Amino acid sequence: MFAVIGAADVAAQAQKLPGGFVYLRDIDPTIIQDIRYASSNNFVGRPLRGYEAAECVVKREVGLLLKGVQEELALQNLSLKMFDCYRPARAVADMVAWSRDGRETPAQKRYNPSFSKTDLFRLGYIAERSGHSTGAALDLTLVDLKADNSAVFDPNKDYADCTANVNLRAPEGSVDMGTSYDCSDVKANTSATSITAAQRRWRERLVLAMARRGFVNYSKEWWHFSLPGTGRQAYDFPITPRK
């Protein structure tokens, strides 16, 4: 009886979004969300266009699979943390415009310490069309629920770049994967050899947990996963507050 009611609630929420999209919070509220492009804590330094709420929106099939991943991780005192899910096409265009505006602040440089932001296209870190806009791509990490995850981002603090020691980087409230989220650097490549054995094990643990549900990792970004065959059409509806 309770399962039937829960499914009905999810369906009711999904009807408010196009194309079979749902709020992940309606599928599994235990999955932690830190939607970075709805805040100033990202490589652009401000909320991106279309992010009117800090909510993870995904295709329903993707959400149900993430729920399965979360249930498996919970047995290990771990949780997923979502950094980005569906991304409106207007936000992708916003990223493109940022990369070409000819300006780069020290805070922005933390995310690509080894080269200019104009190289992000050539090196495959930014694309004019993103799989996120289909609702089938995700950026995420792992949280150790037994650890102290209380440190929060301070926009006025001068943090070290995204490849630095975890104690010097901006806090993310998650396990140490060797780099920050959205770090455009070879050290962020999933199979990078320049990270510690412990950091490598965390990455492998995340990739394996996601792979068991059919998700495929993007080799240049340890945090990026997609579900093949789930979404082809790019959307541009804004992410609005969940009712």
pLDDT per residue as tens digits for the range 179-198: 999 999 999 999 999 999 99
What is the reported pTM?
0.90
pLDDT digits (tens, 9 = 90+) for 65-87: 999 999 999 999 999 999 999 99
Sheet strand arrangement including 216-218: 32-33, 78-84, 137-144, 221-226, 216-218
- Each domain of the chain, given as residue ranges in start order, spans 2-226
Burial of 99 (0-12, 13-18, 19+ CB in 10 A): buried
Q: Which of 225, 215, 208 has its CA nearest to residue 65? A: 215
CA distance 23 to 209: 22
Any idea which fold 2-226 has? Answer: Muramoyl-pentapeptide Carboxypeptidase; domain 2 (3.30.1380)
